[in-house]
Structure formats: C-alpha cells, structure tokens
Structure 1
C-alpha cells in the first residue's frame, strides 16, 4: 500500500509541475467501479503497450508479471503492442528467446511490434519482425473497432508519410492508434523528434487520431494537443529509467512518471480508457477518451 501511495504522489507532483492533472483529463469523469464480469462484457477490444524493455533483467520480468496480473483481473488483452527497443543491446537473434519471447509466454497473446534504434543497430530488425510472423514496417493490424498503424521512426521518410496519410484517409474503424519508437513529443533525455514532428504530426493532427504510442525515453508521459490528439511515451518496460524534465516546447503534458510500467488500452462502443500501470500494479495515470463519431 505504501508503494502504491508513493507512486500516486509521484505522478501528482509531476503533473502539478507541468500544469496539468494526473488521472482523467479535464472534462472527463472516471466510470463507476465495475465488476470484472461487467467490465469485460462491455469492452470490445483491449491491448497492453510497453517499450524499451528487452534487457532480460528483473525490471522487465516485473512489468511482465504486472501485465499477467492485469489480464487475469478481468481486463481484456487481445495483443501485446510494443513501442520498440525490444531486444537490447543490438537486436541480436540469439537474444530473441530470453528477451522477447519467454518473459511474455504466459500471456499467450500475439505480439505486434515496432522497431527501435537498438533493434536495428546491427541490421537485425527484419529478423525480429519475421521471428514474430510480422511483415516489414509500416504495417497495420485490427481489433474490433480499432485500427493500429505501426511505423518505423528510425527512418521517418516521405514514403511512410504517404502510407500513413493513405491509411488514415481510407474508411476504417473509428479508433485509430499509431505506434512508433522515437516520440513525437517528449521532455526527457531524447526529447521530441524533429523529423517526426515535421512529417507525421501534421498528418496525425489533420485526421484527429485517437492515440499515438511512442517509446525511446524510458518513462511515462501523456500529452494532449490543441486538436485533442493524445500522445503517450510508454518507455518504461524494463530498461534503466530516465528522469522527466520540464520547460520543453510540447503540447500540454497532463501526466508523467519515471517508473517501470505498461499502458493498457480498453475500447468500448463509446470510450477508450487508457491506464498506465506500474510494475507493482499501482495505477499511475488514467484518462478516458471519447470514441470519434463516424
């Protein structure tokens, strides 16, 4: 209990420093507590997202255990979604088993990944995707009511920008989630990514995507743009943590925490609930987003 209270206090302090609340965004209210059965009955799709994890260390195993507890507690988890840096230090295929497969084998869900700079360091990114039965980046996946678009921010080029524009312009589910490694917005060691901001952010904003998931900085940060797009850095999956800074030029930052964690996303017919959960099961942040109207 003391650890959970401390985690909540850390997030509240960070949020206060950034001028925004932790927990539900302004203008939203958290739903009343529900039983596991009633919650699962209304959730159409769900997944957990995490990044910067593939160290093989105790912190990675702790986050994996927390995800198993979440899934076993009545929360719907249809897939494991990663924001990159899945296999440290260089994406070596010899480490796929201990750092990519075995920590999550008890979850028995498909793993959909993007690639981080460590995954491609020695040219093993393609092997990592093939190992999981995935196509080359960029690619798309679907869950009921949700489209997930995976990009390679190691090379934010014009071809991927056109691909993103085409997918977001086409008919599809109401909830769009875009996943890539180097963050659009961050106030930490690596910071925001200029090429992403120049090429992809205008497309994401124009189409009012529901959620953007990034990694690279080893912490949790949630931003809300002026057009209502939610950007989350979820890079606390196991690697050594980075401090969260302040005073950066970013959209409004609603919450932040330097904690090992994963980010859970649950989708109903009317709302998307995003919950950051620490390695000890404490809720670090929660926001409820509306499902866009067709």
Structure 2
C-alpha cells in the first residue's frame, strides 16, 4: 500500500530557489514504518498527436500502479523527457492532461511526482513545467535543479536526493542526428549549478545520498556515456561517496556498478531500445543488468531505503521483476 507524504506541500517552498531544503519528517498512515519507498521512471512522455500516449507508456503506467499498491510508493521520480517531442509551450498545454494526469490515474500513483527536465523538455518551455507545480496537486518541480531531504521513519537515518538539470549542465542533444551534448547553452548557468552541486554534496551527512539527472553518466546503449558528466559529475559522485545516480535518456533499463556508485538507467517509460552499441565503452565487468527488449512492454525501478540499505528492483511492464540489487549506506569519515 502506498502512503502519501503529507508534508511535501511545503517542500517546494524551501527549494524553489535551489536553497537547501530542511529535512522533512514524513507522515505515514502507519506508525511502524521503517523505510521510504519510491518509483523511478524516465522518458515517459507520450507523443504529440492523438492519442498522446504510447502502448509502452500505457502498459508501464498500469504496472507502476500495481507495484505502488503492492510494494509501496511514497513518491515518484520523473527522470526527464516528460513530453515528447518538443516539451510543452505553456503551463496551459493540454499535454499535461493527455500525457500525465489522465494516464497515471490510480490512487497508488496519486503521490508526489518529483520532476526534472530532459533534452526534449528543453526543446519547449521548462519554465512552463515548473509553473505547472502550482496547478497540480502531485507535480513537484520547484526549480531547474533542487534538493530533497527526508527522514527515514523510526530509524534516525536520512535520505537526500539531488535533482539536476543535465541539459543545462552539458547542453542539448539532437536525438535524430544521434548527437552528443556539445556544451551548455550558457556556461554561467552550468557553472552555477556545478558549484551548487559540489556545495550540497560536500555538506551532506545523509546516510543515503542519491543524485538524479536525465543524461546517463554510464550507458551501454544508443547514447552511451556522457563525456560531460564523466568529466564534471562522476568525480564528485566518487569523492563524496554518493550511493547512486539515477537517469533516463536511453530507452531501456540498466544497472552499472562502478567505483562504489550504483548507476541506474530507467528510461523505459514510453519507448524501448535494445541497442548495446556502447557495451565496450563502459569499464569491463561493471554492467550488472540490461534489458530493452520489446517483449518487456516497458519498465521502471522500485526503490526501498531502509535503516541500513537501499534495495533496487527493476520491473518490466508485463508483470515481473527482472533484477534486484542492494546498496549499503554511506560510510562517512567524520
């Protein structure tokens, strides 16, 4: 059963200008809760013509509903490419209804959706998506990049999730030409985000520290590793002992373990791609799981963060789990 986070209505206020958010004391329907649970799905954004959704999105939404009810989901991380192919043009765009509100309708999915922007979102107005937070009870997108902090109930442990705008950091990419990001549109904005990120990572004492963005650091699929993130983000993840990095962009499910950090690609919310052209472009032996087969019907990740560990389960839309792994809490040198 999913439990709704009552205090998140106040969370957006504290992070709207990228300021650090205070740790939230979560209120659940049960007082014996000892974990936080969430779903992570990327590249879920339908299509810009009727019926505005795909068969994969519909199947994935249906399975997300079941898993959220059975395993629990306190919130959902939306990892970018929220609206194909050119985002939205205004806060009043009908796409918010046709591709989001009328697709993820079950009670178990009526929890906060913490949103970040992908390259297709940047082809439209990301500002309009941020503004939609004022119109939706569950759409939480306070700023281009922001921080979420939670207390894990009844454990004394904490979870931090840092939501990034990797397009602002690295530049946009043209999928149709299979281009890599060639550099940020505005270097000053990219550097400001990077400085903010380093400050947040350096200051974090969270027992579990997650970073999320749209572009992958490591990927074996069509887009492959993102050079900009390998150079600018990966050293920070290693230095500050991040638990995991979550992303989308490639339309499949991947788990890569490298230098103590778990790299999660969850980009199977709307399309599927079995491409593994970059298999040899990641360190040998680091790929622990991959699927992009059409037979899965779509997919997403379920995460449970407990007192001592984080359990990741990769699920396919046709109704079974495909892979599970466990990550330990951070060991910080005081």
The 8 Å contact of residues 244 and 261 in structure 2, kept in 1 or not, is answered as yes
Unaligned segments of structure 1, at least 5 residues? 1-39
CA 1:158–1:242: 2 relative to 1, 3 Å: farther
2:57 counterpart residue number:
60
Cα RMSD between the aligned structures?
A: 1.7
1:282 to 307, 314, 320: 320
2:81 to 82, 85, 104: 85
For residues 218 and 117 of structure 1, the distance between their equivalents in structure 2, rounded to whole angstroms, comes to: 13
Greater mean alpha carbon deviation, residues 42-51 or residues 276-285: 42-51
CA 1:105–1:247: 2 relative to 1, 3 Å: closer
For residues 240 and 184 of structure 1, the distance between their equivalents in structure 2, rounded to whole angstroms, comes to: 19
1:291 aligns with 2:329: yes
1:162 to 195, 208, 219: 195
The 8 Å contact of residues 43 and 266 in structure 1, kept in 2 or not, is answered as no
Deviation, 1:236, is 0.3
Q: How does 1:40-59 map to 2 (within 5 A)?
A: 43-55=34-46, 56-59=53-56
SS in 2 for 1:119: helix
Superposed CA deviations along residues 146-176 of structure 1, whole A, max 9, x for unmatched, are 1111111112122211111111111442111
1:19 counterpart residue number:
none
SS in 2 for 1:80: strand
2:14 counterpart residue number:
none
Q: Which has the higher contact order (CA 8 A, sep 6+)?
A: 1
The 8 Å contact of residues 252 and 272 in structure 2, kept in 1 or not, is answered as no
The 8 Å contact of residues 133 and 142 in structure 2, kept in 1 or not, is answered as no
Aligned residues: 252
Greater mean alpha carbon deviation, residues 275-284 or residues 86-95: 86-95
CA 1:43–1:275: 2 relative to 1, 3 Å: farther
2:115 counterpart residue number:
113
The 8 Å contact of residues 221 and 279 in structure 2, kept in 1 or not, is answered as no
Q: Which runs of 4+ in 1 moved over 4 A?
A: 40-43
SS in 1 for 2:311: strand
1:190 to 223, 226, 231: 223
2:50 counterpart residue number:
none
Deviation, 1:244, is 2.8
For residues 307 and 200 of structure 2, the distance between their equivalents in structure 1, rounded to whole angstroms, comes to: 22
Superposed CA deviations along residues 35-70 of structure 1, whole A, max 9, x for unmatched, are xxxxx9564211100001111112111111111111
1:272 counterpart residue number:
310
SS in 2 for 1:274: strand
Q: TM-score, normalised by structure 1?
A: 0.81
The 8 Å contact of residues 301 and 314 in structure 2, kept in 1 or not, is answered as yes
Superposed CA deviations along residues 231-282 of structure 1, whole A, max 9, x for unmatched, are 1111001124342335422231111111410101101101100000100121
CA 1:216–1:171: 2 relative to 1, 3 Å: closer
For residues 244 and 170 of structure 1, the distance between their equivalents in structure 2, rounded to whole angstroms, comes to: 37
CA 1:82–1:91: 2 relative to 1, 3 Å: same
1:128 counterpart residue number:
129
CA 1:43–1:261: 2 relative to 1, 3 Å: farther
Superposed CA deviations along residues 195-214 of structure 1, whole A, max 9, x for unmatched, are 11111111111111001001
Unaligned segments of structure 2, at least 5 residues? 1-30, 47-52, 135-140, 152-157, 170-189
Deviation, 1:131, is 0.9
CA 1:268–1:42: 2 relative to 1, 3 Å: farther
Q: TM-score, normalised by structure 2?
A: 0.72
CA 1:162–1:256: 2 relative to 1, 3 Å: same
SS in 2 for 1:103: coil
